[in-house]
A = this chain, B = another copy of it.
Amino acid sequence: MPELRKDIITGRWVIISTDRAHRPTDFLRQSVEIRGVGVCPFCPGGEGKTPPEVLAYGRNGGAPNTAGWSVRVVPNKFPALGIEGTLDRQGEGIFDKMNGIGAHEVIVETPNHQGSLATMDEHGVEEVLWAYRDRILDLKRDRRFRYILIFKNHGEAAGATIEHTHSQLIALPIVPKRVREEVDNSKKYYGEKERCIFCDILRQERESGLRVIAENEDCISFSPYAPRFPFETWLLPKRHGSAFEDAQQGLYKSCAAMLRDVLRRMDAVLERPAYNYVIHTSPVGEEANEHYHWHIEMMPRLTKVAGFEWGTDFYLNPTPPEEAARFLREAAVPVS
């Protein structure tokens, strides 16, 4: 069973995994499993190679764990956390830990081995967002969890170990430090000004237009004012909403269109980069609030992060966000 341990100085929790590769020599052999269609565990026909599914869309009447699905969610075969057991919080001298209880799932976004969120049609991307929502709603009923984290690693440089396009979900008994900070700071700002800090940012970004990439009825994408990484991009609903899973129905359609659009722009401008994205949403039990505004943070992997950035949380970004936004805004994206 993995452990969650707290860094006593910064307050950051870390998963210390014990089931995964950990001997020194294991690190020397890390590489991506490139698998053809025939042996890919995420392709139709490979359903037996994954743990039994927890959700599938599109299989009209077919049996579980058979082909015919359009989106499929399965437990991660090598989970970072274990789903079984009671939370056991303990001290270890001056340190704090708990057993590594959590869920770790994989959202297979399409049956098409060659597909990606940028090349799928809008309806396909919308289905992925609905799958995120359905899994969040289900896992939130588990009282052990404080946060449901949705993220995607696309490409080897971004940490993907299976090439068939997929996202991941991790349900956690703690709130990740960065999210906790964002929520707390947003709450403080709201306390002072009676306004959502993200709504204020949106207002200013739309007025100046300098960093806006694209906008549709309900969503906007822009380069943030102080991005850590070149071409870092945020995607937000234009109207205030504190929890991704509580969004109104039409919003997923708009967001899917915007997400796909931004990824197509990145593919065009940056020659199909590896990227990560993470959904930032309110913690479990704090879903309905006026201060936090859910959003997606997208980070193409273009630069190597250097020593001082790791060690200080202080970043050097070689691309002004105004230029990144201009390149992405003016990208020639094929209409489809």
| CB–CB A178/B314 < 8 A | yes
Judged by a CB distance under 8 angstroms, whether A12 is at the interface is yes
Assuming the contacts A17-B316, A204-B93, A327-B24, asked whether A307 and B225 have C-beta atoms less than 8 A apart, the reply is no
List A residues 131-165 near B (Cβ within 8 Å).
149, 151-153, 156-159
With beta carbons under 8 angstroms apart, the residue of B10, B93, B176 that contacts A312 is B176
Judged by a CB distance under 8 angstroms, whether A20 is at the interface is yes
| CB–CB B182/A10 < 8 A | yes
List A residues 197-218 near B (Cβ within 8 Å).
197-198, 200-201, 204, 208
Q: How far is the CA of A17 from the CA of B226 in the complex (A)?
A: 11
List A residues 88-105 near B (Cβ within 8 Å).
92-95
- Most B Cβ at <10 Å: residue of A149, A178, A311, A318: A311
Judged by a CB distance under 8 angstroms, whether A335 is at the interface is no
- Binary interface encoding of chain A residues 312-335 relative to chain B, with 1 for a CB under 8 A from any of its CBs, else 0: 111111111101000100000000
| CB–CB A177/B318 < 8 A | no
Q: How far is the CB of A22 from chain B (nearest CB, A)?
A: 4
With beta carbons under 8 angstroms apart, the residue of B14, B172, B308, B320 that contacts A226 is B14
| CB–CB B315/A269 < 8 A | no
| CB–CB B24/A269 < 8 A | yes
Q: How far is the CA of A228 from the CA of B3 in the complex (A)?
A: 13
| CB–CB A17/B318 < 8 A | yes
Q: How far is the CA of A317 from the CA of B159 in the complex (A)?
A: 14
Assuming the contacts A21-B318, A312-B178, A312-B179, asked whether A307 and B6 have C-beta atoms less than 8 A apart, the reply is no
Q: How far is the CA of A176 from the CA of B310 in the complex (A)?
A: 11
Judged by a CB distance under 8 angstroms, whether A241 is at the interface is no
Q: How far is the CA of A187 from the CA of B299 in the complex (A)?
A: 34
Judged by a CB distance under 8 angstroms, whether A280 is at the interface is yes
Q: How far is the CA of A12 from the CA of B16 in the complex (A)?
A: 26
Assuming the contacts A27-B302, A308-B149, asked whether A316 and B15 have C-beta atoms less than 8 A apart, the reply is yes
List A residues 21-48 near B (Cβ within 8 Å).
21-24, 26-28, 30
| CB–CB A7/B224 < 8 A | yes
| CB–CB A315/B15 < 8 A | yes
Assuming the contacts A11-B185, A14-B226, A27-B302, asked whether A176 and B307 have C-beta atoms less than 8 A apart, the reply is no
Judged by a CB distance under 8 angstroms, whether A297 is at the interface is yes
| CB–CB B271/A28 < 8 A | yes
Judged by a CB distance under 8 angstroms, whether A66 is at the interface is no
Q: How far is the CB of A89 from chain B (nearest CB, A)?
A: 14
Judged by a CB distance under 8 angstroms, whether A277 is at the interface is yes
Q: How far is the CB of A175 from chain B (nearest CB, A)?
A: 9
| CB–CB A27/B230 < 8 A | yes
Judged by a CB distance under 8 angstroms, whether A86 is at the interface is no
Assuming the contacts A270-B27, A303-B30, asked whether A9 and B318 have C-beta atoms less than 8 A apart, the reply is no
**A14-B316, A16-B317, A28-B271 known; 6 other A-B pairs, CB under 8 Å?**
A15-B316, A149-B314, A153-B307, A156-B304, A176-B312, A177-B314
The 3 A-B residue pairs with the shortest CB-CB distance, nearest first, are A278-B311, A276-B307, A159-B306
> Can you spell out 15 A-B residue pairs with CB atoms less than 8 angstroms apart?
A12-B313, A16-B320, A22-B320, A24-B327, A27-B270, A92-B225, A153-B306, A159-B305, A168-B307, A176-B312, A176-B314, A178-B312, A276-B311, A278-B307, A299-B310
